[in-house]
């Protein structure tokens, strides 16, 4: 079989174009986008884990602190609101949707904080094994949430930076025109306030 020089040139040209496209950042935007979406999935999984722990925690506290009905109701309502607001990967470019999700989660965090504070008034509750186990799981979950949020923020930073810097900006303005920057988490409004210490 004799291979013509023209055929060799065509094959060589295809290989060179393939290498050029692979080496010029064409795959970077989709890769970073998928990584950010995966990190968002981790955030959602950890928030869901927290939401799943809450009914058991509320039931345990309820058995000891019947007169704390208002705090228990706030936790239940905040959990319901937090689980109703869903943000899937396709909505990550909508800062308002991400803000609504974050606000609902922050309200739930505040209600949980009040619930844990209530436990200080009930020595029997504080020593209850179920409560201690649930509190420990909740603390671990809060740590996982913090790590997942940090990882998501970093993945979004990389993705958004690629959309705005060379050579990604070329791909973003041509082939990936539909790709928009993703929304990041922001600190809660009260995060800048120093905590009140009461003795």
Higher pLDDT, 80 or 7: 80
Q: pTM (2 decimals)?
A: 0.81
pLDDT at 192 over 60: no
User: Average pLDDT, stretch 131-160?
Assistant: 95
pLDDT at 16 over 80: no
Query: Closest by alpha carbon to 60, among 147, 148, 122, 143?
Result: 122
Task: Tell me what percent of the residues of the chain surpass a pLDDT of 90.
Answer: 63
Residue 186: its pLDDT value, please?
A: 79
pLDDT in tens, 38-94: 999 999 999 999 999 999 999 998 888 878 889 999 999 999 999 999 999 999 999
Peptide bond into 91 cis (omega under 30): no
Residue 195: its pLDDT value, please?
A: 44
Residue 65: its pLDDT value, please?
A: 83
CATH no., domain 27-184? 1.20.1440.20
pLDDT in tens, 90-133: 999 999 999 999 999 999 999 999 998 888 888 888 888 889 99
Q: Residue written as tokens 């082939």? A: 175
User: Average pLDDT, stretch 148-161?
Assistant: 97
Q: Provide the token pair at 155.
A: 């993945």
Residue 199: its pLDDT value, please?
A: 29
Q: Provide the token pair at 20.
A: 């050029």
Q: Could you please report the per-residue DSSP string of 9-62?
A: HHHHHHHHHHHHHHHTTTTHHHHHHHHHHHHHHHHHHHHHHHHHHHHHHHHHHH
Q: What confidence category does residue 22 fall into, taking pLDDT thresholds of 50, 70 and 90?
A: low
CA–CA separation, 103 and 90 (whole Å) = 19
Q: pLDDT averaged over the chain?
A: 88
């Amino acid at each position: 079989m004799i291979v013509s020089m023209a055929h060799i040139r065509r094959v060589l040209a295809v290989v060179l174009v393939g290498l050029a496209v692979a080496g010029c950042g064409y795959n970077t935007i989709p890769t970073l986008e998928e990584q950010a979406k995966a990190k968002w999935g981790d955030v959602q999984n950890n928030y869901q884990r927290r939401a799943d722990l809450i009914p058991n925690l509320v039931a345990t506290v309820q058995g000891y602190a019947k007169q704390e009905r208002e705090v228990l109701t706030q936790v239940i309502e905040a959990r319901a609101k937090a689980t109703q607001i869903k943000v899937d990967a396709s909505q990550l470019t909508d800062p308002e949707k991400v803000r609504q999700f974050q606000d609902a989660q922050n309200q739930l965090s505040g209600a949980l904080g009040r619930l844990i504070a209530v436990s200080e008034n009930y020595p029997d509750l504080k020593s209850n094994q179920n409560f201690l186990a649930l509190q420990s799981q909740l603390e671990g979950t809060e740590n996982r949430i913090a790590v997942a949020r940090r990882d998501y923020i970093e993945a979004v930073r990389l993705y958004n930076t690629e959309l705005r810097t060379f050579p990604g900006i070329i791909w973003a303005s041509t082939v990936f025109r539909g790709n928009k920057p993703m929304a990041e988490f922001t600190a809660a409004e009260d995060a800048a306030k120093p905590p009140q210490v009461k003795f």
